[in-house]
């Protein structure tokens, strides 16, 4: 499996995203439809470009191929020169194909992914400017994107609070979300890993307390998803993919923090989330998407399958007696190979397939959320945890 995943990374995922590089206007093209036609004048999502920059920086650190560092630098320069709002601070939501601002709202989730990318790019390149930008965004989140209860979500370009349309789904408008909290945690984990700043450590500990005390629901062994400003849940929704992703990302954060008190507090939670997902969402070969008000969405979404592999590998590493987790990771890779990988020349992964593997032809291959972050990271994690296989 490790060999297959590494070959897939080198021969499929990396070449696919290299071909989307825009050498005229910077960054990477923002859209490829299901028929594999690239729209060179499509909107360029700033999250997409942050994630691509993160991907190439980490691909370089895993594979030591200088061309990958060049791709990461290309993405970084686009972030620095175009995605950053030089007047008001922060990262825009999206840009026109030529780099002019398209949607100027600021979202905490988006700021977090920029920190994630900049921290990894700094680790790969040792370019101190990237680390300085990461801290600028860290300070911005901590001063403008939170209240006394935790992180707020959406703002206009001057950081005045607006409705959270971008990360609210399922018919609700959330003032706080598990998803944004998770990715602020992920970003701060990477920033702390590369620079060991005590203020970042304190914020990581605060976030872990929120996960344990507000987001995690011990009675039904899951995280809640959408909240009001006081962390009261506002919908009966179980996001299977986010729970398995959260389990391993929190474990990674605990490892980077090295704090025994938080290890004792959070490790039982990550074990519970992993076990519950295995029990109720995994069918022996792949993972359902979510369950809203008791109704399961059985679609197999590309990012959920990628996180399933990492989450179950992580569960097995933390609990070696759970060989069923290892089997689940391997089975999910077989499902991905058979159904989720788009075997057409010049493609990558389908956005989603049905439970029996039929691709959704209405969904594009590349769009502002569809990027090499989840599946690329799955490859890195499998390579780095290859001793488990």
Residues of the chain with pLDDT under 70: none
Here the CATH number for the domain that contains residue 104 is: 1.50.10.10
- For the beta sheet containing 290-292, the strands, ordered from the edge strand earlier in sequence to the opposite edge, are 237-239, 290-292, 295-297
The whole-number pLDDT of residue 368 equals 97
**Mind spelling out the 3-state secondary structure of 104-122?**
CCEEHHHHHHHHHHHHHHH
Report the C-alpha gap between 213 and 207 in whole angstroms.
10
Which H or E element spans position 203?
A: helix 198-210
Report the C-alpha gap between 122 and 370 in whole angstroms.
24
C-alpha closest to that of 152 among 105, 200, 217, 213:
105
CA dihedral 153, 155, 157, 160 (to 10 degrees): -140
120 CB-side CA count, 13 A:
29
The dihedrals phi and psi of 344, each to the nearest 5 degrees, come to -70, 140
The whole-number pLDDT of residue 131 equals 98
pTM over 0.75: yes
How many structural domains does the chain have?
Answer: 1
Report the C-alpha gap between 141 and 134 in whole angstroms.
11
Report the C-alpha gap between 48 and 22 in whole angstroms.
13
Digit-coded pLDDT (tens) for 13-60: 999 999 999 999 999 999 999 999 999 999 999 999 999 999 999 999
DSSP string, 251-270: HHHHHHHT-HHHHHHHHHHH
DSSP string, 292-346: ETTEEE--EEHHHHHHHHHHHHHHHHH-TT-HHHHHHHHHHHHHIIIIIB--STT
Digit-coded pLDDT (tens) for 47-73: 999 999 999 999 999 999 999 999 999
The whole-number pLDDT of residue 307 equals 98
Domain residue limits at 28? 2-388
The whole-number pLDDT of residue 260 equals 98
Report the C-alpha gap between 324 and 1 in whole angstroms.
16
């Amino acid at each position: 499996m490790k060999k297959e995943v590494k070959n897939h990374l080198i021969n499929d995922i990396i070449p696919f995203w290299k071909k989307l590089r825009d050498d005229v206007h910077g960054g990477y093209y923002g859209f490829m439809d299901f028929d594999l036609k690239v729209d060179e004048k499509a909107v360029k999502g700033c999250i997409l470009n942050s994630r691509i920059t993160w991907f190439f920086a980490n691909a370089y650190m895993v594979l030591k191929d200088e061309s990958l560092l060049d791709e990461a630098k290309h993405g970084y320069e686009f972030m620095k020169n175009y995605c950053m709002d030089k007047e008001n601070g922060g990262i825009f939501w999206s840009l026109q194909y030529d780099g002019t601002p398209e949607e100027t709202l600021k979202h905490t989730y988006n700021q977090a992914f920029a920190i994630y990318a900049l921290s990894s790019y700094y680790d790969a390149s040792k370019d101190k400017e990237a680390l300085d930008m990461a801290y600028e965004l860290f300070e911005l989140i901590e001063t403008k994107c939170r209240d006394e209860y935790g992180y707020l979500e959406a703002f206009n370009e001057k950081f005045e609070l607006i409705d959270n349309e971008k990360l609210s789904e399922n018919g609700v408008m959330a003032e706080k979300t598990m998803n944004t909290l998770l990715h602020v945690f992920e970003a701060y984990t990477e920033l702390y890993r590369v620079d060991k700043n005590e203020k970042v450590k304190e914020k990581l500990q605060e976030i872990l307390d929120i996960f344990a005390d507000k987001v995690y629901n011990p009675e039904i062994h899951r995280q809640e998803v959408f909240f009001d400003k006081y962390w009261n849940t506002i919908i009966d929704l179980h996001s299977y993919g986010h729970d398995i992703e959260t389990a391993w990302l929190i474990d990674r954060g605990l490892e980077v923090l090295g704090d025994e008190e938080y290890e004792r507090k959070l490790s039982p939670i990550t074990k519970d989330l992993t076990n519950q997902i295995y029990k109720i969402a995994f069918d022996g070969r792949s993972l359902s998407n979510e369950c809203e008000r008791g109704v399961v969405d059985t679609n197999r979404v590309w990012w959920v399958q990628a996180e399933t592999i990492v989450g179950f590998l992580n569960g097995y590493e933390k609990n070696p007696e759970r060989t069923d987790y290892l089997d689940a990771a391997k089975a999910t890779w077989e499902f991905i190979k058979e159904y989720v990988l788009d075997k057409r020349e010049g493609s990558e992964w389908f956005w989603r397939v049905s439970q029996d593997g039929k691709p959704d032809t209405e969904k594009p291959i590349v769009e502002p959320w569809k990027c090499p972050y989840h599946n690329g990271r799955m490859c890195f994690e499998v390579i780095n945890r290859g001793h488990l296989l």
